Amino acid sequence: MGFLIQYIENLCAECQSDRMTCVLSPMCRRRFLIKIRILTGSLMEDLPKFCYAQVISNLKRFKDKKTALYTPIDELVYVEDLFDIFFPKISKDLVNFCISGKIKEAVNIITKSKIPANYSKSQKEKQGILRNILKLDKMIKEGSFIYDISQNYFVIWNEKNLYIANIKNGYAICNAHREIIDSIELLNLILPLYAEGKDFGLKIETDETEISSINMWISGKRLKNLEKEILFQKLNEVTEKIPIFPRASFTFTPKEDLEIVIEVDNTSSFDDLDTLFNNIDNLTESENIYLLSEIKDR
């Protein structure tokens, strides 16, 4: 391990010694060594400063829809840097409120800042507002985005890009796709937005073994006009093509609404959930709102 650490330090020093190389063609692809450093608990002052500055610069350009050197996928940055991008004038206070678990104060300071950030709970006050934002109507016209917050997580949904700030660990996943969702608390934050985008009823349940299940229900009026046998066949095809969702049940209520129960373990990624919801929504007549962007730059 000592040899490996020294090798990484020497590689980073060599890369940063030529700033043109570090900017345009870093010696680690997509600056993955920054991610490794953050995951292993490095403090910000321990990172190669110039290289990390390029990570932040590229992320800002991506968020502002400017030309970026690469598409950040599952990019890691510190929570304060993510907040500085989305909440520039209140980022320090927001970080302090989140660390202290002061959710009400965090929401209040965002509301007063006039930043076009919509708390996911605002759906209770203005019916349909989140769906309009997810359809990009307000995102494009007003620069709006959606956020939600819990004791350990802060979630941002901006133009089909998902940002997950892990308050406890101090880092954020930017443009989340392939990372594993290993927290029921996090599922409880992101699944309601999926349900809003697809117009599903939804709740999460956990049993004594901590295996969670996603319970969905869809109005029979919204389903495509298919024979039940054909519909069940298509539903089975949906779960079969996603290996981590093999255990699913489908039933019709007396009112002809479709109920779906899918067991989820801690190997599900953000892309897995996105694929699941998109495929199920393809069996309905309503408009399919895509909630994660397609990965084009791999």
| Model confidence pLDDT, tens digit, residues 64-80 | 989 999 999 999 999 99
Of the pLDDT bands very low, low, confident and very high (cuts 50, 70, 90), residue 82 is very high
Q: How many CA atoms lie within 13 A of 70 on its CB side?
A: 16
Kindly give the pairing relationship between strand 117-119 and strand 145-149: parallel
Are the CB atoms for 120 and 148 separated by under 8 Å? yes
**Cα end-to-end span (Å), the chain:** 29
Say whether 262 sits in a helix, a strand or coil.
Answer: strand
Domain ranges for the chain, please list them: 1-69, 71-176, 185-281
Q: Residue 152: pLDDT above 60? A: yes
Separation CA 129–CA 108 (nearest Å)? 19
pLDDT above 70 covers a percentage of the chain that reads: 92
Residue predicted with more confidence, 65 or 126: 65
- DSSP lists the bridge partners of residue 78 as 171
pLDDT in the model for residue 243: 63
Separation CA 90–CA 109 (nearest Å)? 8
pLDDT in the model for residue 162: 95
Query: Which of these CATH numbers, 1.10.10, 3.30.2450, 3.30.70, 3.40.50, describes 185-281?
Result: 3.30.70
What is the pTM for the complete model shown? 0.90
| Model confidence pLDDT, tens digit, residues 254-298 | 888 889 888 777 778 899 888 888 888 888 888 878 889 887 654
CB atoms within 10 A of CB 224: 11
Q: Residue 249: pLDDT above 60? A: yes
